Structure formats: C-alpha cells, structure tokens
Amino acid sequence: MTDNETSSTGNFIRQIISEDLKKNKNNGEVITRFPPEPNGYLHIGHAKSICLNFGLAKDNNGECHLRFDDTNPCKEDIEYVESIKNDVKWLGFDWGKHLYYSSDYFDKLYEYAIALIKSGKAYVCSLSGEEIREFRGTLKLPGKNSPYRSRTIEENLELFEKMRVGEFEDGTHVLRAKIDMSSPNLTMRDPTLYRIRRVTHHRTLNKWCIYPMYDFTHCLSDSIENITHSICTLEFENNRPLYDWVLDELKVKCHPQQIEFARLNLTNTIMSKRKLLQLVEEKYVSSWDDPRMPTLAGLRRRGFTPVAIRDFCERIGVAKADSEVNIALLEHCIREDLNKKAQRVMVVLKPLKVIIDNYPEDKVEEFEADNNPEDPSMGKRKVPFSKIIYIEKDDFMEDPPKKFFRLAPGREIRLKHAYYIKCESVVKDEKTGEIIELHCTYDPDTRGGWSNDGRKVRGTSHWVSASHGVLTEVRLYDHLLLDKSGDDKDFISLLNPDSLKVLNDAIAEPSIKEAKKDVPYQFLRQGYFCVDSIDSTSENLVFNRTVSLRDSWSKIAKAKKQ
C-alpha cells in the first residue's frame, strides 16, 4: 500500500501504530492529543484531526488529550476555549480527565529553557525582528550567525531572567536555540524559543511577559503528557527536526513520534481560521455559527449531524499528500444520515393559491401520511385538506415547455396523499399580469392520490391547506464560495452573493407547530431542514435548509473513477 492509499481497515498512521504495538513500543500504550489554539472556532478540517486522534486512541484502548495550545495571548480568548470543548463533545468524543493547557506548563517550559541555556544550546539575541529575518538567509543563501550568538552562559542566564521580570521592552530581545545557521532547513537556523509580549494571558493573566514559541512548547507539552504519537498536519514536516532536537537536547524521558498527514481542503469554502475570522469581523456572515460557515458551530446550526461528519471524515481517509475534497461528498453524507432520520412534512416555499371549485365549502378531510417511508416505526400523521390550498409557484406553468410534467391549464396532477386535480382556469392581476390564483377541480374517485380507472398522471405536487397552514420563514443556503478553490488570496471576491436566500411567506402543514430544535425534517421535494436554534420561536418559526435533495456526489465519484 502506498502512502496515499487508504482502506476501510486503516490508513498509514493506523499501520504505524499497529507496528509499534507489535513491538511493544511505548509499553503498548497509545496516547494521542488534539491541540487546538483557542483563536477561533473549530471547522470541518479540525473534525478530521479530532476523528483521527480520538479515533486512534479509542481503537487502541488508549487516551486522547484535549490540549489548548494557548501560547499566543494576543489572539486567544476564553470564548474560543468554551466553543472548542462544546464542539469536540458534540462530535461525540470524550477527553475524560485529560483536559490540558500549554499555559499550565509555563513554569516547566521556563526551566527547560534555562537548562538549554546552561548546556550552551540557547542564547539571548538582541537583533531586531527585521535583522533576524535578514540574518536567516533564504533557501538558496545560508544564514549568518547573530553577533550575540557567542554570549556567555552567565550573560544569557542574566539577560533571560531580566526578560522574564519585565526589564525589557517588547521586541528588544528573544531567546534562540543555537543550532545551525547554514542548515538547509530554515526552521533549524537558530529558531526563536521565547519572545517578550506584555499582554495579559486569558489564564495566566499578568504572571508572564515572555511567552514560549509553538516549536518549543509543542514538543515539550507532548513529552510532559507522555504522548506516544504526535499527529499533525503536513506543514509541520519541516519542523519535525526541531521537534526532535529540543527533546533530544533536553534528554526528556518521553520522546513522542511526530507523524504528519494532509490537512483537509474542501471546495467552495474556506479552511483558514484567519479568513473565517475576517468574514465574521467584516460582517460577511452573521457570526461564527452562521449556517454558511464551515465551522462545526455553523454546520450544527445548519442541521448537520455528528454521525454525518464522522462518516465524512472516515470516507475521506488519511493520506500524506495534499488534495482537495469536493463538498458534494460532505453533502452526500448528511443526506444519507437524514434520509433515515428526517420526519417528512409538506411545506410550500413559494405559495400559489389553488381553489378547488367542486370541493365543498366547509369540508375538511384528513389524510394519513407516513412520517418516514424509510422507517415505519416513525409512525404516521394526519394532514388536513380543504377547498383552498397552496402549491408551489414553480409547480405551475401557463405555457409549459415539452418536458414540464407538472400543472398547466387543462392538465391533471396528483396532490400527494390527497386527490388528482385538474387546472380549469387562471386568474391574473389585471395590471401586472402576475398569476394570483388557479381554479381547479378534483376527482373524488382518486382519494389518497390514486385513481381506480388506471388513469396516470406524470406530476405529483405537495400542498398545504390554506386555512390550516402555518406561516414560516425559510432560509435557503448555498455554497459560501462560488469558485471551487477556497483558499485563494482574494477569497472575498469569490463569495457567493446568493449563499443565503430568505423566504418569508412559506406555508407549512400544521404538524410543523410541534417542530423541535434538533429534530431533522424533510420538506417533501425541497430538501432537509432544521429549526434555527437561535432565531426560531413558537410564534415565528424559522427553518434552515441543511441540504437540498439533489445529490451530485455519485456523478462526481463516477467521473473520478473513469
């Protein structure tokens, strides 16, 4: 099996772990971690990492830690910490007692830094940020040693202590590892380990004014927690030698193995927290949980289920080369799950009034309808029918083209669960010419929607009784980005102007009054919907369309195979 192949039995990381277990490496233990930085909400890409890390631990009777990698106080916030915990739980994973923060290790990390200085492997550098960049060189040009590289251990200890107690301004000094300024790997050219930042940290408050860098913090946090396999995304491949260097130089007891995998890229959306933050801050979306966002909070509000997201993560597999997944696959996964669970209802999104001339004025009939034809255990409900009903505007055409099989003057269609009706006449607004209502007749011998004489109709429409219908707001969502590739620099110009359409006069069958948050619905012929968790009230129902019914995935998958 090559690196990029995955199978239902496993991926290359699973294989590494099972080899390790065979050799009884790490005493047969598997301890992984999911290490988000609390500087934004989790998105579907993080779900891939969560499913992988928690999944590997679970399958091997191990543990997975949730660790907040909170070493950059400028961008971090407690709101993000809470949302991340909530999202991981919602996805169905449990860190048990293993909730950690890198900031809890600040004292230990400081001691490790002192140890590096004492062994001559770290020094305080007083070049400016710009000079450090200049001295670093490029891929083609080797770097130059900092003039401060030869400071004595005593001098370094003294300066580092002064950095800690706040004697220096931000940016005046940093602590750097003393490795190799001519290394072909730029990461190894004396990377910065600590910088001065006079910023209040959301947990340690004002205790520290120096903060450790990611590369120093991450490996040591892994080691402190006895992580066995430190799984991260591909962009850290170049950092692996530094990960190993720090742990080797400090001769720590636990030296986890870093393994990289390809991050998830998804078409028609964005996976960068920075860009997602920009969408929120510049109000292109309403919030982090706007149903158009690829965040877990957004997907949840949109009506996605943890089952569908976990299924998606399973299907995309884990590979070592970057690739882009078509968003149609994610949509396919949610359809599959909701098809089994969603309660069917009839809702007319764009109503057109239909008067059934030969139906008695005050008569009301109730038709029985399956709540879910896929699952009889979900029972049946009653749908009232009366003289005036609504059908979809799109289900009628005055002058239909050849392939239009729905209602038209003189034509007959089936009303789902009810009767055949035939269009007799059309009433229009005198001024605008807009169609206001249709006059139809029904055939009493087609009760339940079936004729006794074998007469066939080609179209079936959903409908709602006018006097029983419930007015609801319906929000239709489409892809966030028009273009397929989401991580383009100029992504703002790619935003889909029709990513949200609000319909204010949709009319739903009366059973909708009991709609509960967290219960999925299928609006017949229109897609899967859920109650909006924020804006919907019992007086003003608001529904979000999770996904339409048309599945484009099988076509795409077929085309891919060829």
Please answer whether residues 510 and 364 qualify as being in contact, where contact means their C-beta atoms are separated by less than 8 angstroms. no
Sign, Cα dihedral of 234, 235, 241, 245: negative
| 246 neighbors 215 (Cβ within 8 angstroms) | yes
Closest CB to ligand ATP among residues 271, 309: 271
Cα–Cα distance measured from residue 435 to residue 439, given in angstroms and rounded to the nearest whole number:
11
Q: Which is nearer to ligand ATP, 233 or 548 (CB)?
A: 233
- Region of residue 190 (phi > 0: left; psi between -120 and 50: alpha; otherwise: beta): left
Are 303 and 520 within 8 A, CB to CB?
yes
Residue 164 or 218 having the CB closest to ligand ATP: 218
Pick between residue 45 and residue 520 the one whose CB is nearest to ligand ATP.
45
Q: Compute the distance between CA of residue 185 and CA of residue 324 in angstroms, rounded to an integer.
A: 27
- Closer residue to ligand ATP in complex, CB, 52/440: 52
Instruction: State how far the Cα of 391 lies from the Cα of 348, in Å rounded to an integer.
Output: 6
Catalytic residues: 37, 263, 273
Q: How far is the CB of 220 from ligand ATP (least distance, A)?
A: 16
Instruction: Give the Å distances, CA to CA, from 487 to 269, 285, 362.
Output: 8, 17, 59
Burial label, 138 (beta-carbon count in 10 A; 0-12, 13-18, 19+)? exposed
* Separation in Å, CA 497 to CA 481, 543, 549: 9, 20, 22
Tokens 């990611």 locate to 214
DSSP state of 148: T
Least distance (Å) from ligand ATP to the CB of residue 68?
9
From the CB of 310, what's the least distance to ligand ATP, in Å?
14
Q: How far is the CB of 233 from ligand ATP (least distance, A)?
A: 4
Residue 138: phi, psi to the nearest 5? Answer: -135, -175
Per the listing, tokens 């009034």 go with: 353
Least distance from ligand ATP to the Cβ atom of residue 246, Å: 18
> Shortest distance, CB of residue 213 to ligand ATP, whole angstroms?
13
383: CB partners within 8 A, 6+ apart: 346, 366, 367, 368, 369, 417, 418, 465, 509, 511
- Minimal CB distance residue for ligand ATP: 45
Nearer to ligand ATP, 50 or 127 (CB): 50
Strands (E), 103-228: 122-125, 174-177, 192-196, 210-212
**Angstrom distance (rounded) from CA 259 to CA 30:** 14
Nearest distance from C-beta of residue 320 to ligand ATP, angstroms: 13
Could you tell me which of 176, 245, 201, 167 has the C-alpha nearest to residue 81? 201
- Our CB check for ligand ATP shows the closer of 33 and 462 to be 33
Based on CB atoms, which residue is closest to ligand ATP, 36 or 143? 36
Minimum distance, C-beta of residue 51 to ligand ATP, in the bound complex (Å): 10
Closer residue to ligand ATP in complex, CB, 104/473: 104
Residues in CB range of 327: below 8 A, 6 or more apart: 266, 267, 268, 269, 479
Please provide residue 553's backbone torsions phi and psi, each rounded to the nearest 5 degrees: -65, -45
**How many whole angstroms separate alpha carbon 490 and alpha carbon 195?**
32
Interface with ligand ATP (CB under 6 A): 35-37, 39, 45-46, 48-49, 232-233, 263-264, 271, 273
Taking the complex as a whole, the smallest distance from the CB of residue 41 to ligand ATP amounts, in Å, to: 10
